[in-house]
Structures are given as structure tokens and as C-alpha cells.
């Protein structure tokens, strides 16, 4: 009786120690989250301290969690095997999406293309050249900022022709902008829904820390200017535009501005908006935020939770076995082809050259003896590959479940899952035909049946889809090209329909 009791006490002590360590880690994470900046720095020392916190957070989320092989090779290898399909497998599995057609949709897309062109010029050109290219004068510039950490570069333009005030926010262009994007901790953010001066609803949630701090700084900076212009022009509305980091900041800024009755006409067009807020907050802005996504763009799906899920998916996959087998096959075939090709050259006549070729043939024969079947090279050294993979897998951060810590781990995973971030507002996904990749080994999914514009559900963007074009499709020139293709194709289809009606 004493032996089982002592063993039970020892197990409880060990479990208590492990549970205590886990609780300390969770408490440290909470303290780190509370230390993350909720506002832009006001002094240079504050900027240095906040930047240090951001660098520490990025290191913990990348090198602190990801094995180096997964980070450098695994993502690239799996994205190459996925080909160019990207988000298309979701569309092919019966997801509830709505295809948008008609002249109204084309007119809206053409207007969004003009806004994207304006945003592209603002990002790519210096400010005087931007004004000249966009057709604005210096008198129409109401305000312009200087970029900094958690202080994005933006400008306010007075557009008399469209009776609106345009707020342009630049994306991640400089190192300070990238630091803002890297401040990716999740912090609380709540939205007050105001209608006719009365509080109608309160939406609770969380948001991207860096984007939230930047949006609050912009709101504080632009409020006096916007109040002055709106008081002089009551029929004007506010239009906020941004791409990537600027799109996420623009969306959060529209939330903040709409909490004042004077700015209730604020709307946002976010191109490639980053995942910046939780589900309830993102879903509450369908009437004033439009997020536009291009093909396989990966940025709208990136958040700390989705990246953690991707890390677990890569760790569970057998990419290392396949990569190692493919490497051995390539090496064996290259040696075999080299020796075979050399033995057929007629002008090899000297003893030294024949000795070299004999040595290469012996090397190939030895390799073939070691690997009796080239087609199954990935299975020949399965024990060795499994050993390497297991060692690599142990190096990663894998949650441990036991009787003592299962409750803490489950509650931690539930709390982390509640912090999954999504693109805000109404999501419009543009799909065009991609260039076929001859090196892709995955089953290609044709885009002909999905060529068009779709309003997609938010659940599609909770998972990172690896694709060869996931970075290329993020840039603004790719968005411009896709919009032009869709507009031209839709106009051509409308002309064909009209011609068919006339013939009939």
C-alpha cells in the first residue's frame, strides 16, 4: 500500500511541477502581451524600447518556435508542390461563395481600379510626382505625415469632383513600416456602433497590435482637419484607402472614425488587407469596409494563430522524407547520366581518361548496389529518414498532453483559437487564370470555371494556403493586372451577349 501511494505522490509532484511551469509560461505570455505598445511612441527612447519589444516578439514567434529546416526549406518545398492553385481548392470543395456579375459590378470594379492606381502612385512615387501623376494640386492636399515606427505615411486629399475626402495610407515600404507590421501581438479592441448620436451596439474583440496603434495615431492626427472640412462641406463623405499594412490600418481607422457622428459616412477600400481583427469585429463592418483579395495572395490569411497551425502542419507532414528521397534520386541519376554519356564519347583514348571513367562507373555501380531500386529511393532509407525527421520533430515545439496538464493545454488552445484574425468587412476575391507550372507535382485545378469575382466567406481565410504565386499576387501591379483582365473579359462577354441578341 505504501509503494502505490508514494508513486502517486511522486507523479502528482512531477505533474504539479510541469503544470506550474506551463502556468508560468502562460503568465509570461500575458505579461508580454500587456507590455506591447498600444500607442505610437512620442520620444526616441520610447521608439527604441518599443522596437526592442517587437524584435523580441518576432524572434520568439519565428526562431523560437520554427525549426530552421521548416522555416527555410519546408515552406518553400511544400509551396512548390502545391503549384499555383492557392485558394482554389476551397472554391472546389463547395464553399458557400457568391459570384458577382453584371454592369454594376464592373462599374464598381473600375472605380476600385482607379483607387488602386491612386494608391500605387502614392506608394511608388515621391509626393510632388505623385500629385502631378494623379492630377491633384498642392491646394487639394489637406494634410501629410512623416513616416515612423507605428506612424505610417499618409495623406489627406480634397476631391471636389467626387465630393469626398480621400485618406491614403501607405503599406510596408520602409523598415519602420515593417516593424509596425511585425508588432503582431493580439490586443483587445472594441467598437462602438453609433447611429444618430445613440449607442446601438458594442462589439468586443481583439486586433493586431501594431495596426491598432498606428490607426489610433492617425485618428488623433486627422480629427481636427476632418472636422474642419466636414463642417464646411456637410455632403462630403470620407474614403480611406490602403494596401497590405495600409489596408489593415485603414480598416481599423474607419472603425475608430465612425464612432463619431460627424464621421459616420466613413468607408474603407482595403486591397490585400492583412488579417487584423477577430471574427465578430470583422463581420460587423460589412456595410463600410470592402477587402479585395487577388488570386493566391497569402497576406490576408497571415496571423499568429494561422502561422502556428501552418507550423504544426509542416511538422506533421513528410516533406523531409520526400525532399531527401528526391535529392538522392537526383544525385544518383546525375552520376549515372554523366558516366553513361562519358562512356559513349569516341575520343576518350588515353589510359588516364579511361581510368577516370572506370572509377565513375564503379562509383555508380556501388551506388546502385546500395540503392537497389531507384524508383523507391524515398523508401530505401526510410529508417534513416524517419530518424532524421523524428529528431527534427523533437526540436520543434510540440504540446505535451498528460493527465495533469491537459486542462491547462486545452484552455490555452481555446484562448489562442479565439484570437484568430481575419480580413475585415466584405471580402471580394478576384480569380484569374494563372500560368501553369510544369514543375508542379500536385493535381492542377483549372481556373477557367472559377474565372471571375466572388464574395467569399470569412472562414476561407483562417488557414494559410501555400502556393508558388502567394508572394507575387500580393503586390499592387498584380492587383492592377487582375482587375484589368476581369474588366476586359466582362466587357467582352457583355458585347458578345448584345451581339447575340441582335442576331436573334
- pLDDT string in tens for the chain (504-residue length): 443 444 445 444 445 554 555 455 545 555 545 566 777 888 888 888 888 888 888 787 777 676 665 566 666 666 666 555 555 555 555 567 888 888 899 999 999 999 999 999 999 999 999 999 998 999 999 999 988 898 999 999 999 888 999 999 998 888 989 989 888 889 999 988 877 777 788 899 999 999 999 999 999 999 999 999 999 988 999 999 999 999 999 999 999 999 998 898 899 999 999 899 999 999 999 999 999 999 889 899 988 888 888 877 777 666 555 555 555 556 555 554 545 444 444 444 444 444 444 444 454 444 444 444 433 333 333 333 333 333 333 333 333 334 333 434 333 334 444 588 999 999 999 988 655 444 444 444 444 556 788 899 998 898 888 888 888 899 999 999 999 999 988 888 777 665 665 665
98-100 and 267-271 beta bridge pairing: unpaired
Which residues have C-beta within 8 Å of that of residue 360, sequence separation ≥ 6?
A: 335, 338, 339, 342
Where do the CATH 3.40.50.1820 domains begin and end in the chain?
A: 76-303+422-503
Instruction: Please tell me the class of the 76-303+422-503 domain.
Output: alpha beta
Q: What is the DSSP letter of 418?
A: T
Reported for 403-407, long-range contacts at CB under 8 A and 24+ positions apart, including other chains, are 403/15, 404/12, 404/14, 404/15, 404/16, 404/18, 404/19, 405/15, 405/18, 405/19, 405/22
Q: 241 pairs with which residues across the strands?
A: 168, 269
Return the exposure string of 106-144: e unless at least 16 CB atoms fall within 10 Å of the residue's CB, then b: beebeebbebbbbbbbbbeeeeeebbeebebeeeeebee
C-alpha closest to that of 310 among 84, 467, 471, 92: 467
Which residues have C-beta within 8 Å of that of residue 495, sequence separation ≥ 6?
A: none
DSSP string, 266-316: -EEEEET----B-HHHHHTTTTTEEEEEETT--GGG--HHHHHHHHHHHHH
- Per-residue pLDDT, 475: 92
pLDDT digits (tens, 9 = 90+) for 14-46: 455 545 554 555 455 555 455 667 778 888 888
Alpha carbon distance 130, 327 (integer Å): 50
Contact (CB, 8 A) for 313 and 67: no
Contact (CB, 8 A) for 89 and 335: no
Q: 428 pairs with which residues across the strands?
A: 292, 455
Amino acid at each position: 500500500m505504501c509503494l502505490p501511494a508514494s508513486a502517486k505522490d511522486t507523479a502528482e509532484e512531477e505533474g504539479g511541477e510541469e503544470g506550474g511551469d506551463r502556468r508560468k509560461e502562460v503568465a509570461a505570455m500575458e505579461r508580454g502581451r500587456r507590455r506591447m505598445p498600444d500607442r505610437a511612441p512620442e520620444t526616441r527612447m520610447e521608439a527604441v524600447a518599443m522596437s526592442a519589444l517587437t524584435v523580441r516578439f518576432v524572434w520568439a514567434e519565428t526562431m523560437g518556435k520554427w525549426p530552421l529546416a521548416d522555416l527555410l526549406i519546408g515552406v518553400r518545398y511544400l509551396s512548390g508542390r502545391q503549384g499555383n492553385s492557392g485558394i482554389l481548392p476551397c472554391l472546389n470543395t463547395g464553399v458557400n461563395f457568391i459570384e458577382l456579375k453584371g454592369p454594376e459590378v464592373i462599374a464598381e470594379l473600375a472605380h476600385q481600379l482607379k483607387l488602386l492606381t491612386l494608391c500605387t502612385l502614392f506608394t511608388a512615387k515621391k509626393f510632388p510626382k505623385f500629385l502631378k501623376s494623379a492630377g491633384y494640386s498642392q491646394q487639394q492636399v489637406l494634410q501629410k505625415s512623416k513616416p515612423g515606427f507605428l506612424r505610417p505615411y499618409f495623406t489627406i486629399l480634397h476631391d471636389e469632383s467626387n465630393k469626398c475626402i480621400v485618406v491614403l495610407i501607405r503599406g510596408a515600404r520602409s523598415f519602420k513600416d515593417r516593424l509596425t507590421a511585425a508588432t503582431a501581438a493580439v490586443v483587445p479592441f472594441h467598437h462602438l456602433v453609433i447611429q444618430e448620436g445613440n449607442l446601438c451596439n458594442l462589439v468586443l474583440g481583439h486586433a493586431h497590435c501594431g495596426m491598432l496603434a498606428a490607426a489610433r495615431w492617425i485618428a488623433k492626427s486627422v480629427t481636427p482637419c476632418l472636422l474642419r472640412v466636414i463642417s464646411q462641406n456637410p455632403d462630403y463623405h470620407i474614403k480611406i484607402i490602403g494596401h497590405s499594412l495600409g489596408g489593415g490600418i485603414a480598416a481599423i481607422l474607419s472603425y475608430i472614425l465612425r464612432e463619431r457622428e460627424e464621421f459616420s459616412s466613413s468607408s474603407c477600400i482595403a486591397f490585400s488587407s492583412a488579417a487584423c481583427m477577430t471574427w465578430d469585429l470583422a463581420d460587423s463592418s460589412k456595410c463600410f469596409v470592402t477587402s479585395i483579395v487577388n488570386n493566391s495572395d497569402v497576406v490576408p490569411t497571415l496571423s499568429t494563430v494561422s502561422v502556428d497551425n501552418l507550423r504544426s502542419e509542416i511538422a506533421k507532414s513528410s516533406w523531409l522524407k520526400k525532399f531527401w528521397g528526391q535529392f538522392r534520386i537526383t544525385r544518383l541519376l546525375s552520376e549515372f547520366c554523366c558516366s553513361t554519356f562519358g562512356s559513349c564519347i569516341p575520343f576518350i583514348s588515353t589510359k588516364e581518361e579511361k581510368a577516370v571513367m572506370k572509377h565513375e562507373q564503379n562509383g555508380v555501380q556501388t551506388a546502385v548496389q546500395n540503392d537497389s531500386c531507384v524508383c523507391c529511393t524515398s523508401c530505401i532509407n526510410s529508417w534513416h529518414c524517419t530518424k532524421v525527421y523524428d529528431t527534427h520533430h523533437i526540436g520543434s515545439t510540440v504540446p505535451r498532453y498528460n493527465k495533469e496538464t491537459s486542462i491547462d493545454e486545452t484552455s490555452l488552445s481555446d484562448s489562442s483559437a479565439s484570437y484568430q484574425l481575419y480580413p475585415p468587412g466584405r471580402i471580394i476575391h478576384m480569380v484569374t487564370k494563372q500560368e501553369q507550372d510544369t514543375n508542379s507535382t500536385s493535381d492542377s485545378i483549372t481556373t477557367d470555371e472559377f474565372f471571375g469575382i466572388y464574395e467569399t466567406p470569412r472562414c476561407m481565410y483562417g488557414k494559410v494556403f501555400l502556393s508558388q504565386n502567394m508572394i507575387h499576387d500580393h503586390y499592387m501591379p498584380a492587383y492592377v493586372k487582375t482587375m484589368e483582365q476581369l474588366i476586359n473579359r466582362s466587357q467582352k462577354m457583355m458585347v458578345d451577349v448584345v451581339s447575340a441578341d441582335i442576331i436573334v
